[in-house]
Amino acid sequence: MVEVSPDTLPLIESLVGLLVGGKRLRPAFAYWGFQAAGGQDCDEVVTACASLEFLQACALIHDDVMDASNTRRGKPAIHKQFETRHTTNDWNGSAKLFGDGAAILVGDLALSWADEMLLTSGLTSEQLVRAKAIYDVMRTELMCGQYLDLLEQARGGITHERAETVIRFKSAKYTIERPLHLGAAIAGATPKLNQTLSEYGLALGEAFQLRDDLLGVFGDSSVTGKPAGDDLREGKQTTLIAFANLNADAADKKFLVDNLGDSSLTSETISKLQNVLVNCGAQDFVENRITDYLEKSLSALDALADNPEAKTALTELAILATNRSA
Q: Answer whether residue 2 shows pLDDT above 80.
A: no
Q: How many domains does the chain have?
A: 1
- DSSP per residue over 58-77, as a string? HHHHHHHHHHT--EETTEE-
What pLDDT, on a 0 to 100 scale, did the predictor assign at position 9?
Answer: 95
- With respect to residue 267, please indicate whether it lies within any of the assigned structural domains: yes
Task: Read off the CATH number of the domain in which 113 is found.
Answer: 1.10.600.10
- With respect to residue 146, please indicate whether it lies within any of the assigned structural domains: yes
State the Cα–Cα distance between residues 24 and 213, nearest whole angstrom: 19
- With respect to residue 157, please indicate whether it lies within any of the assigned structural domains: yes
**pLDDT tens string 50-61:** 999 999 999 999
- Please calculate the CA angle 149-175-222 and round it to the nearest 5 degrees: 80
- With respect to residue 186, please indicate whether it lies within any of the assigned structural domains: yes
Average pLDDT value for residue range 13-23: 92
Asked if residues 240 and 282 have their Cβ atoms less than 8 Å apart, the reply is yes
**pLDDT tens string 60-85:** 999 999 999 999 988 999 999 999 99
- With respect to residue 1, please indicate whether it lies within any of the assigned structural domains: no
Asked if residues 152 and 66 have their Cβ atoms less than 8 Å apart, the reply is no
Expressed as residue numbers, the domain containing 29 is 6-322
- With respect to residue 90, please indicate whether it lies within any of the assigned structural domains: yes
State the Cα–Cα distance between residues 233 and 262, nearest whole angstrom: 5
- With respect to residue 33, please indicate whether it lies within any of the assigned structural domains: yes
